Amino acid sequence: MQDSIEQYMQTVGQQARQASRVLASASTQSKNNALSAIYTALQHSEAAILAANHIDMTQGRNNHLDSALLDRLELTPTRFKSMLHGLKDVMNLTDPIGEITDLAYRPSGIQLGKMRVPLGVVGMIYESRPNVTLEAASLALKSGNAIILRGGSEALQSNTAIAEAIQHGLKASGLPENSVQVINTIDRAAVGHLITMSEYVDVIVPRGGKSLIERISNEARIPVIKHLDGNCHVFVEAQADLQKALPIALNAKTHRYGVCNAMETLLVDEKVAEDFLPRIAELYAEKQVELRGCRETQRLLGSVVHPANEEDWYTEYLGPILAIKVVSGIDEAIEHINKYGSHHTDAIITENFSLARQFLAQVDSSSVIINASTRFADGFEYGLGAEIGISTDKIHARGPVGLEGLTSQKWVVFGDGQIRQ
């Protein structure tokens, strides 16, 4: 069986590499035609895709998947519409491939610049979210990359139904059908092969739980675009407008729980804690959010808050639990974020311009936000059309990864007979 899995993955890799060579020189129009055909196929397949997702959801509940996983797995008509909107946005994005920048002449007479090119073949490993199948495929196609998709077993029916629509669109457009391949086995050995096939795959993008991403990061022989978790913070500074701070702190935590840009720790300046905390705690109580606080938070809120321990400051809850800490000021807040955070997304609420600039400069995260919810940290809200993932690494791509994150640049040199003297 292991031999057959290896052979199957080798075939998938070879097909992806061949498709990537066609895509690298495909015109913007042909790529957009393919995306348009996929859009139409998805519209016609909505009922079938939602029915497939219903099967996955029923199976997930029977298998006692936790609420955060079920939330990520569910496709509602509204979420399906959002998927189509994201696909249309990708179609309307400027094609980055072939763009030449930084043109300059050298003393030798040569002219050089940098040309944007696809990465080649992307390997995508993800859990739960069936919408990722479409987001990843559309971004890969628009940026001239072939992609190999390996979804989780819990979303098998949903991913298969979406993949059928994508294949239909590719076939209708004339681009290689192997431009997008969905792994048709749930055997975990397939992942092991995918992340080590450096001759066929150029970059791996894992999306899922921390254990999955740690495994991929440790075992891959190919560069990985990743973030381990989303332990995000909102800091309500002493000069915050509390009429802004209250809805931001509520939205950042309760808009959706099982997402990587949800707030997990609320930091509050001691100068406004007595005024702010009882008011925000009342709003959280309406949403049945469990609060875990430092001693000062416990003193101010009493029995409505449980004691927080050291582990709480590190934890990405992905559920209706929030850690709260009262801090002495911006320096302690920044120190806390940089020590306990995951370098994903952190926000400050303040009307002090200088302190906002200090926060921007000193918080070491892929997205730093002033006076807005952490929930904005995704590719759709950033105008990327969609995102293939969010990176907390510092090399190549950082933050939400859209079209440009799936490209690199190569030097191009224009001469007219020059030789090296």
- pLDDT score recorded for residue 184: 85
State the helix-helix crossing angle for 77-92 and 28-62, rounded to 10 degrees: 160
Contacts of 272 (CB under 8 A, 6+ apart): 236, 238, 240, 242
DSSP 43-91: HHHHHHHHHHHHHHHHHHHHTT--HHHHHHH---HHHHHHHHHHHHHHH
Secondary structure of 229-275 in HEC code, one letter for each residue: CCCEEEEECCCCCHHHHHHHHHHHHHCCCCCCCCEEEEEEEHHHHHH
Q: What pLDDT does residue 155 have?
A: 92
DSSP state of 376: G
* Residues with Cβ within 8 Å of residue 64, at least 6 apart in sequence: none
For position 98, what pLDDT does the model report?
A: 96
The structural domains of the chain, with segments of one domain joined by +, span: 2-225+388-414, 232-376
Query: Which CATH architecture fits 2-225+388-414?
Result: 3-Layer(aba) Sandwich (3.40)
Predicted pLDDT at 61: 95
Other Cβ atoms within 10 Å of 21 Cβ, number: 13
Query: Cα separations (Å) of 39 from 19, 86, 160?
Result: 21, 10, 16
Cα distances (angstroms) measured from residue 87 to each of 50, 138, 170, 386 = 17, 7, 14, 7
For 291, counting Cβ atoms within 10 Å of its Cβ (0-12 exposed, 13-18 middle, 19+ buried), the class is buried
Mean pLDDT, 10 residues at a time, over the chain (421 residues)?
Answer: 84 97 95 96 96 96 88 93 92 95 96 97 91 93 96 91 92 93 89 96 89 91 89 98 98 94 98 98 97 97 96 95 98 98 97 98 97 94 84 89 94 96 90
Residue 292 is predicted with a pLDDT of: 98
Can you tell me the distance from the alpha carbon of 137 to that of 159, in angstroms, rounded to the nearest whole number? 12
Q: In the chain, what is the straight-line distance between the N-terminal and C-terminal CA atoms, in Å?
A: 60
CATH class, range 232-376: alpha beta
Q: What pLDDT is recorded for position 229?
A: 85
**356/371 Cα distance (integer angstroms):** 9
What residue has token string 């495994």?
A: 215
pTM of the model: 0.86
Residue 23 has a pLDDT of: 96
The reported pLDDT for the residue numbered 127 is 82
Q: How far apart are CA 108 and CA 383, in angstroms?
A: 41
pLDDT of residue 3: 67
Q: Are 207 and 124 a contacting pair, CB within 8 Å?
A: yes
